[in-house]
Chain A
Amino acid sequence: MTFYKHFSPLLAVVLALYSFSSVAQSQEKIVVVTNLNNDVQVLDKKGIIDLFMGKYSAFPNGRQATPIDIELNDELKGQFYKSLVGLPLARVNAYWSRLKFSGRVKPPAIEQTMEDVKQRLEDDESALAYVYESYVTDKMKVVYRFD
């Protein structure tokens, strides 16, 4: 009984914080964006998978596509792959490490921070990246929204 008297308030706080953050996260939607000048107007989920998982390196219109991974935001990256292919990051990394030996299939290009991703999207017309919906600027074009 002494144990619960001490720890139950603390436990309640922790639980409250956790539920708040998860609610905040689930509300934070992810969208797939391109350079504003890119011809591609919209992509389907399968098309995004084909590009991010290395099957194709060009958009359906034949122009080169450069998928971008974010290095320093595992939360975003994890949420993206979970939503896209239903796999945790560890599995996705394993997938790539397996394919690297063949050399024919390239993994997405890497940017460090959200800022870097934003900069790349502005600079590179072939860039294709995932960002939080709230992060979309008028220099980006949303081609896919996760439900």
Chain B
Amino acid sequence: MLVVLTTAEFFYRATYEHEISEANNDIQELYQTVAATASIAAFLEDEDLAKEAINGLVKSEKILAASIKSDAMYYQFNVNDAISKDVKPRVFLVRHPFIPEDTLAEVNVYPNFAHIIEQAKKISTDNNYSLYVEAVVVGIVALIITYYIIISPMLRVGRSLHKITPGTKERIEMPEYHSRSEIGELVQDTNQLLNKVEEQFTQERQLREEIEFLEKRFRMLFENAKSATVLMAENGIIELRNKAFNDLVEKIGLEIKQGYGELLEELFEAPTAMKTSLSEAFARNEFATGEYKLKSEKTDDATWVQLIASPLVTDDGERYYQLTLNDISSRKHELQKLALQADFDALTGIYNRNGGEKLIAKLMRKDHHFALALIDLNGFKAVNDIFGHDAGDEVLIFVAEQLQEKIRKNDVAIRWGGDEFVLLLQAEDEVSVKRAIEKVNDGVKQPFYFNGDPEPTFISMSVGVSFFPAMSDDMNTLIKLADIAMYKAKQNKVSAPNDYLFFADSASRNGSQ
């Protein structure tokens, strides 16, 4: 609008100047039309002609007044008005019609400036109106063109960009006729940017999937590990634990909570030993390992774990411990079972020599008085030779059963080796020993049928007895004494089968020593 106003003012000025100059030209031309008449009038000194010329001039709106003056005549129209308006006349010299060198008169023409100005104003106003109209039209056209060529495509581009989710296949549609314009370039650049974003999103997604996949696997590994594992801060707070750990805690009857003290000390039966051992290992910058017994609040079975502890230092300098507790209780039980096997005879299920010796040692330590009866089977070798080892085994099992059956509750039967058995009898005198052995002998003497064999087989035994502590407080001596006595009894196995039991005597004891 300012431009239009300035332009309008400029146009008015220019038009005014132009109109003034036009008016001057017009006045010149108007005078030319009456110049001949004025010339003749001056020549002939004819007032009518002079009037005709002057009136012809003032007929024009551009001329306010005019006068003609020669030596012989004077005629004017409206000159006083012009003079009162302070209008300066244009002076034209009237030439002789036939002798152009001669000047006969003078014509004064007073331009109608008011009219000229009005005319200029009118023209410039018209100009201004057309200027305004033109400006409005041009403005509207420019707006429409700008809207359809620039704003509308920009808006569409903007809207579609707004709708697009980065990282997807969506792209901004190229506006029509804009493939080569700045907007087109903008769209292309933006689409390229979107391409890059999508590419990066895809890469990131793949990476994330890979990481998730790995994490899942690691989690599975960790969660499903049979070993109880925790990641623990230095203050004992457990940052990470797996199911096996919780199961272990529940197994020993503790509640599941955030931490169990420094290095899980609350779990252990003897935390001090464990902590000392671990601290030593950590001080050497090694991982610590050891077997420890856990507290047992619930079960009677002891829970043993193999503890593997390693200190970890993060990039931030924080210290953590990774503690793995392998439940080795079952292995412990196995070992105990193995130990049990060492003490018992696999074939007969009664104590073996090893177990028997331990038992004897134990009884001696506790100063329990007992009688040691060493039994040797007669006829066993023949059975073995005739019927084979399986039959021999059957005999041994049969004997062991009889021994177990016939002895008293507090007595113990031991397979000493081969076909030798030992009975530890809670007795201090020969009578009670004799009574007990007789019962056993009755059982062993029973006829024994091998499968399918109608002929019974008879097994007999020879027995030698020594007393603790009456005869000796040394096990080997006791055995030796019993062995000698048994050997004596063995002499009678054919001649006097009922005299199968002999007691060791002091003499032979002494002799043996």
Contacts and interface: CB of A to CB of B under 8 A. Distances in A.
A60 interface: no
B46 A46 contact: no
A53 B46 contact: no
Interface string A92-115: 000100110010110000000000
B390 interface: no
Nearest to A45: B99
A84 interface: yes
Contacts of A104: 46, 48
Task: Pick from B45, B46, B97, B98 the residue with the most CB of A within 10 Å.
Answer: B98
A9 B410 CA distance: 190
A95 B44 CA distance: 12
Interface string B81-103: 00000000000000001110000
A53 B49 contact: no
A78 interface: no
Given A55-B43, A95-B40, A98-B40, A86 B48 contact: no
Contacts of A98: 40
A127 to B, nearest CB: 22
Interface string A78-95: 000000111100000001
A86 B98 contact: yes
Interface residues of B, number: 10
Contacts of A54: 44
B45 A102 contact: no
Given A98-B40, A99-B40, A53 B48 contact: no
Interface in B265-324: none
Nearest to B52: A102
Contacts of B40: 95, 98-99
Contacts of A46: 99
A87 B49 CA distance: 21
A105 B98 contact: no
Contacts of B43: 53, 55
A104 B48 CA distance: 10
Interface size on A, as a range, is 10 to 19
B46 A105 contact: yes
A46 B97 CA distance: 12
Contacts of B99: 46, 49, 85
Nearest to A56: B44
A65 B452 CA distance: 208
Contact of B45 (A55, A85, A99): A55
A99 B44 CA distance: 10
Contacts of B44: 54-55, 99, 105
A90 B502 CA distance: 203
Interface in B425-484: none
Given A53-B43, A55-B43, A95-B40, A102 B48 contact: yes
Contacts of B98: 49, 53, 84-87
B470 to A, nearest CB: 190
B469 to A, nearest CB: 185
Nearest to A55: B44
Interface in B18-51: 40, 43-46, 48-49
A86 B40 CA distance: 15
Contacts of A84: 98
A115 B139 CA distance: 86
A95 B41 CA distance: 12
A105 B40 CA distance: 11
Contacts of B97: 53, 85, 95
Contacts of A95: 40, 97
B101 to A, nearest CB: 11
A104 to B, nearest CB: 7
A44 to B, nearest CB: 11
Interface in A17-55: 46, 49, 53-55
A116 B97 CA distance: 30
B359 to A, nearest CB: 172
B265 to A, nearest CB: 144
Nearest to A46: B99
Task: Pick from B43, B44, B49, B97 the residue with the most CB of A within 10 Å.
Answer: B44
Contacts of A86: 98
Interface string B185-208: 000000000000000000000000
A46 B96 CA distance: 11
Nearest to A81: B98
Interface in B173-193: none
A127 B37 CA distance: 29
A23 B46 CA distance: 41
Interface in B41-83: 43-46, 48-49
A112 B48 CA distance: 33
A84 B99 CA distance: 9
A54 B40 CA distance: 10
Nearest to B49: A102
A102 B51 CA distance: 13
Nearest to B102: A46
Contact of B46 (A49, A85, A87, A102): A102
Nearest to A84: B98
A108 to B, nearest CB: 14
A8 to B, nearest CB: 43
A86 B43 CA distance: 16
21 contacts: A46-B99, A49-B98, A49-B99, A53-B43, A53-B98, A55-B43, A84-B98, A85-B97, A85-B98, A86-B98, A95-B40, A98-B40, A99-B40, A99-B44, A102-B46, A102-B48, A102-B49, A104-B46, A104-B48, A105-B44, A105-B46
Interface of B: 40, 43-46, 48-49, 97-99
Interface of A: 46, 49, 53-55, 84-87, 95, 98-99, 102, 104-105
The 10 closest A-B pairs by CB, nearest first: A85-B98, A49-B98, A55-B44, A102-B48, A105-B44, A55-B43, A53-B98, A54-B44, A86-B98, A102-B46
Given A46-B99, A53-B97, 5 more contacts: A54-B44, A84-B98, A99-B44, A102-B46, A104-B48
